[in-house]
Amino acid sequence: MPRKSNNRQKQTVDQACWAILKPDKTGWKAMVARIDGSMVELATMTDVSDLEGLESLIQDAQAAHVVEMLPSTTVISRLCPLPDAGKEQVQAALSLQAETHILGGIPKHRTVMASTSDSQGSGATGVIMAWPLERSIKPLELDEQVGYTPILTGLLGLCGEGGTDAPLIWTNSDDGTISLVYRSSKGLIIRNTLVEAAPGEPWGACVGRAFAESAFNANVPEDEVKRQVDWIESSLQGTNGPQLVLSDQVRNALADHVKGLPADAQWFQEWGLHLGVVLAAAGPMEPLMALRIDPPSKDQGLIANTAERMSEPRIAIGILIAAILVIGFGPAAIALARLGILKVKLPDRQAYELKLEDLDKQLEMYDELEQRSWPMTKLLADIACTTPEGIDLDQIVINHGERITLHGLAKKHDGMIATERIGLMQSQMYESRIFERVTPSWDKPNARGDYEFTLTAEIARPTYVFRYPEEQDFGALTLSERRYGKQEEPEEEESEAEEQSEVVADATAEIEPAAEEEESENPATEMVATTETTEDETTIDEENEEESTRDRRNLSRRGSGSSGLAKRGGGPDRTTTNPSDSLPELLTPEQISALTKTEAQEALARIAEARQLPGLDEQANEQLKNQFRLLLDRVKEAG
């Protein structure tokens, strides 16, 4: 980026003064000129060999603009047609054309564009120039902001906006560069190229061939092309090195725009391109001077000040030393810090490693088990969840690694025929993604329209857990809940039953030790009582043997129905005895209040057992409930 001098900023500059620089082998050829409207006044033309001389020349002339010419082959140049419209529309169209040609590959500070009038009056023509980053040159280290423009801009300035009788050409046979501008009958033609002459071919013929290619590409008539090629070859005949080819018409036309213009042809060879750049800056081609090596500098901010500060040698050396230390010792310091953090978070590393090894072994074992065994209980549950109602399975065959076989009976259900229920089962097995290749087969239906069927399937993913819908999942909704709905019990009865069981358990726990203690105190009495009871029972059995035989015969005649009722009712006594006859004697509130804690617990246990009897009517149940509450309150009060 060009340097900015405080002295330069304070010094008064002439906005109309331009300094044009063209590099050569010894330094620069510099021209200083002033632009006054459409006229150009030449001030200084000299050779400069060093930067100090350039600084002195620019400051003495108070030039506000400094432009250096670039070699022809460093810049890409394009032409584009523009609409005949207002200035804003033309500029918008030109910007769009520039984006189309460049496609964003070159930064904006290296792209310039301008418009020029067509000599035939058919509208404006856009000139687009792009300076690729890979074609950069060494920047001028001046205090002033330096702009850059190609040699082609000088030719455009010399050509002007009027028609020309011949092309304007800058060529150098030493390096093979050619730049040309021509306002033909078909419009403006520009070209930058690099050619190589064939052995023995005159340089003028090479330049003429390059011009002919561009002219034919622009649809210029053949006779016009031939005439200009002959003029180019004759103008360059016997010349070598850099040459500026101008017609007399162009030189004469420049006299109307330049004060004190020399008429010497040799002067144009030396300073003609400088003059062309100044003339371009005085007209619509001025935007072509705005090429920059680096983006334009903005207002100084924190980042810019930091960068400028870091550019000082002392600070730069310190930063370099710090960077070397960080690169050399930084990784080791970071590794030590990580090790310290790991020691804090994982104090017992060996135990952790052993645990990881155990986990790895368990995972390997589980993987091996998954490959060699199937979760049979899970598979049975999957089969149950995929079997719809209306299908009764009587055989399930599962062998590891083989197809499963299901055999059963399919019935009509829920408006679907038996075969449709089989198809539903097949589709549900597929949807679970556990079974594959499900193949059902069935025989002819029986008299009821039911089908015996066999279904085989492959188990593709035995450990896969499928989330069955609620209407399929028997774990979420049992068969009884599907048919009869969920039975909700009152919370009051549940809490009362829990309370009752706790109290009965407490009462039983206190009564049993007392009974055991009493039995242990009178073992002889217990033995005598037992003996007497046994003898009495034997006598009764002998006397009533005949009657028992008759009772057994009567019982056998009742059949299995009576037996089933006895089982569901809890025993024969409960089926033949009226529950009201087995109820304990109910106590009055005064009697309950006179009971001790042990007596109240015994009575509470009897009431609790009585409430469990089946077949109690509503009145008896209510009486037992009230008696239970009174006894429970007495137990709590006595405790």
List 30's β-bridge partners, or say none: 21, 46
Q: What is the pLDDT of residue 559?
A: 38
Nearest to 627 by CA among 607, 597, 611: 607
Band (pLDDT 50/70/90 cuts) for residue 332 is very high
What's the confidence (pLDDT) of residue 119? 53
The whole-number pLDDT of residue 541 equals 44
Contacts of residue 81, Cβ cutoff 8 Å, sequence gap at least 6: 123, 125, 126
Provide the token pair at 237.
Answer: 């005949």
Render pLDDT for 105-128 as a digit per residue (tens, 0 to 9).
Answer: 788 888 899 988 765 555 688 899
State the amino acid at position 32 in one-letter form. V
**Residues facing 441 on adjacent strands:** 454
Of 244, 214, 25, 63, nearest to 142 (Cα)?
63
Its pTM stands at 0.48
d(CA 498, CA 500): 5
Q: What are phi and psi of 386, to 5 degrees?
A: -95, 0
- In the predicted model, what is the mean pLDDT of the chain? 80
DSSP three-state, residue 173: coil
Query: What is the domain partition of the chain in residue ranges?
Result: 1-75+126-162+247-297, 372-484, 495-511+563-639
- At residue 213, does pLDDT exceed 90? yes
Burial label for 455, CB within 10 Å (0-12, 13-18, 19+), is buried
Q: Is the pLDDT of residue 514 over 70?
A: no
Tokens of 617: 């009517």
Separation between Cα atoms, residue 225 and residue 244, nearest integer Å: 20
Please provide the DSSP assignment of 440-482 as one string. Answer: EEE----TTS-EEEEEEEEES-TT------TTT-TTTS-HHHH
Q: Phi/psi zone of residue 433: left (φ > 0), alpha (ψ -120 to 50 degrees), beta?
A: left
Q: Are 623 and 582 in contact (CB under 8 A)?
A: no
The hierarchical CATH code for the domain 372-484 is 3.30.70
Distance CA 424, CA 419 (A): 9
Half-sphere exposure for 101 (CA within 13 Å, toward CB):
21
Sheet holding 391-397, edge to edge: 391-397, 404-410, 451-459, 435-442
pLDDT band at 302 (very low <50, low <70, confident <90, very high): confident
- The predicted-structure confidence for 394-451, as pLDDT tens digits, reads as follows 999 998 888 999 999 999 988 889 999 999 999 999 999 999 999 999 989 998 889 9
Burial of 273 (0-12, 13-18, 19+ CB in 10 A): buried
| pLDDT exceeds 80 at position 232 | yes
Contacts of 52 (CB under 8 A, 6+ apart): none
Q: What is the DSSP letter of 73?
A: G
Q: In what order do the strands lie in the sheet with 124-130?
A: 76-81, 124-130, 111-117
Contact 409, 391 (CB under 8 A): yes
- The pLDDT of residue 198 is 82
pLDDT at 489: 55
* pLDDT given at position 104: 61
358 with 378: CB under 8 angstroms? no
Tell me how far apart the alpha carbons of residues 118 and 183 are, in angstroms, rounded to a whole number.
8
For 235-245, the pLDDT digits (tens) are 998 888 899 99
The pLDDT tens digits of the residues spanning 532-568 come to 434 444 433 444 444 444 444 443 333 333 333 333 3
Say if residues 146 and 138 touch (Cβ distance below 8 Å): no
Q: Which CATH architecture has domain 1-75+126-162+247-297?
A: 2-Layer Sandwich (3.30)
φ, ψ of residue 255 to 5 degrees: the values are: -65, -25
d(CA 145, CA 19): 12
Q: Residue 164: which of 84, 290, 253 has the closest Cα?
A: 253
Residue 115: what pLDDT? Answer: 87
CB 180 within 8 A of CB 211: yes
Residue 20, Cα to own-chain centre: how many angstroms? 55
Name the token pair of 294: 């680096």
Conformational region of residue 104, where left means phi above 0, alpha means psi within -120 to 50, and beta covers everything else: left
| C-alpha separations of 15 from 65, 141, 367, 413 in Å | 7, 21, 85, 102
Q: Is the pLDDT assigned to residue 212 strictly greater than 90?
A: yes
Q: 3-state DSSP call for residue 137?
A: coil
Transcribe 237-261 into DSSP letters. TT--SEEEE--HHHHHHHTTTEET-
Which of the residue ranges 255-259, 361-365, 571-575 would you say has the lowest mean pLDDT? Answer: 571-575
- Please check the confidence at residue 520 and state whether its pLDDT lies above 50: no
Residue corresponding to tokens 């506000």: 64
Q: Which of 51, 1, 3 is nearest to 30 (CA)?
A: 51
Q: Do domains 1-75+126-162+247-297 and 372-484 have the same CATH topology?
A: no
- pLDDT for the residue 240: 84
Pick the closest to residue 585 from 602, 603, 605, 599 (CA basis): 603
Helices (H), 570-639: 572-576, 589-593, 597-611, 618-638
155 contacts 170 by C-beta, under 8 angstroms: yes
Burial tier of 98 (Cβ tally within 10 Å: 0-12, 13-18, 19+) = buried
Tens of pLDDT, residues 127-186:
999 988 888 788 888 888 899 999 999 999 998 876 678 899 999 988 889 999 998 888
Q: What is the mean pLDDT of residues 381-387?
A: 93
Please state, in angstroms and as integers, the Cα–Cα distance from residue 544 to each residue in 293, 531, 533, following that order.
132, 20, 16
Amino acid type, 545: E
CA distance 50 to 390: 106
